[in-house]
Amino acid sequence: MKTQAAANYPLGVATRGKMLTRVGYAALYIILIILAVTQLLPLVWLMLFSLKNNQEVFNLPPFALPSQPHWENYMNVWTSGNIGRYFFNSVWITVISVALTVLLASFVTFAITRMRWKGSQLVLGLFMVGLMIPVHSTLIPLFSMFLKLHLTDTSLSIILSYVAFNLPTTMMILLGFYYALPREVEEAAVMDGCSVNRMFFRIVLPMTTPVMATTSIINMIYNWNEFIFVNTFISSDENKTLTVGVQNFIGQYTTDWGAIGATLMISILPILLVFLIMSDRIVEGIAAGSVKG
């Protein structure tokens, strides 16, 4: 009897362990589903909000369906609301800013991590100091500088601001990946007579594609949703972006809430689609650059 009980004991422990593991996974999935639904509720509310008129916005519950969906809200903001112009501005300013930021950050990170020269750590420290500078504290100095350079109310002031403030964060993400690159590849390229510039563009830059995709997505989300710089430096309608253009529907006496909801929905959809398509790149890039050596 004792021998049989001893033989059955490990089997009972293993079965109990499997049951606890299944219960743990089930509880984890339930928590994740609740969190996912909680994250999606604001998007559902905004979608319903954009299909209502002013009376339905204030008289109906937040998640109530409108009596008749007002799809004309989207047509009105795109045609008479000049949202098409704001959307185009947001797209090209974001694309140019992201491209410049990632390229310049790659240049600096390559020079600091892969080349030996005096003062490299000092330069790195100066760039990292930029992470500690609040954006609001720079608005007046930047506005004064752009005013003297005649850059106010131009898209160039926005692009320069985006690049300057996103460089430290982009470099911080790139550093871990560049430190982990094998030097044997570069040494073999040098032995074959490859110049530094050619080695960077033909060998190093293609190897950093995953982390470059990560930094591009992060910068794109920030630039697309940025409000402070555009609201401070831009005054004319032809240079405004989506985040500031939504203010056109807020009047002194009346506010078109349905148009505001449609504008916000239009501004959210592109960045949401890009993030859903390339979200795995963010995890891949961060994980690839998280281990040094």
CATH number assigned to the domain comprising residue 114: 1.10.3720.10
- Asked if residue 187 belongs to a domain, the reply is yes
Q: Is residue 205 part of a domain?
A: yes
Torsional sign, CA 151, 155, 156, 160: positive
Contact between 257 and 271 under an 8 Å Cβ cutoff? The reply is: no
The span from the CA of 202 to the CA of 219, in Å, is 24
One domain, residues 97 and 133: yes
If asked whether residues 114 and 205 sit together in one domain, one would say yes
- The answer as to whether 39 is a domain residue is yes
Backbone dihedral region for residue 241 (phi beyond 0: left; psi -120 to 50: alpha; all else: beta): beta
Q: Residues 242, 86: contact at Cβ < 8 Å?
A: yes
Same domain, 93 and 189: yes
Residue 149: what pLDDT?
Answer: 93
The answer to whether residue 4 is domain-embedded is no
Do residues 258 and 224 both lie within one domain?
Answer: yes
- Shared-domain flag, residues 156 and 237: yes
Q: What is the pLDDT along the chain (293 residues), one digit of tens a residue?
A: 455 555 555 556 667 777 778 888 889 999 999 998 898 898 899 999 989 988 888 888 888 888 888 888 888 888 877 788 889 999 999 999 999 999 999 999 999 988 888 888 898 898 988 888 888 889 999 999 999 999 999 999 999 999 999 999 999 989 888 888 888 888 888 888 888 888 888 888 888 888 888 899 889 989 998 999 999 999 888 888 988 888 777 765 567 888 888 888 888 888 888 877 776 666 665 555 555 44
b/e map of 197-207 (b: 16 or more CB within 10 Å)?
Answer: eebbeeebeee
- How many domains does the chain contain in total? 2
pLDDT at position 160 is 95
Helix (H) or strand (E) holding 77: helix 72-79
Is there a domain that residue 78 lies in? no
134 and 267 co-located in one domain:
yes
The contacts of residue 91 (CB under 8 Å, 6+ apart) are 270
| In-domain check, residue 92 | yes
In a domain, 238, yes or no: yes
Pick the closest to residue 57 from 256, 267, 265 (CA basis).
256
Residue 199 sits in the same domain as residue 233: yes
Q: How far apart (Å, rounded) are the C-alpha atoms in residues 48 and 42?
A: 10
User: Do both 23 and 160 map to the same domain?
Assistant: no
Q: pLDDT value at position 288?
A: 56
DSSP 150: T
38 domain residue, yes or no: yes
Whether residues 159 and 279 fall in one domain? yes
Same domain, 54 and 91: no
Residue 206's domain comprises 84-289
- Residue recorded with tokens 């430190």: 179
Helix (H/G/I), strand (E/B), else coil: 151: coil
Q: Please tell me whether residues 35 and 103 are part of one structural domain.
A: no
Claim to verify: residue 44 and residue 116 sit in the same structural domain: no
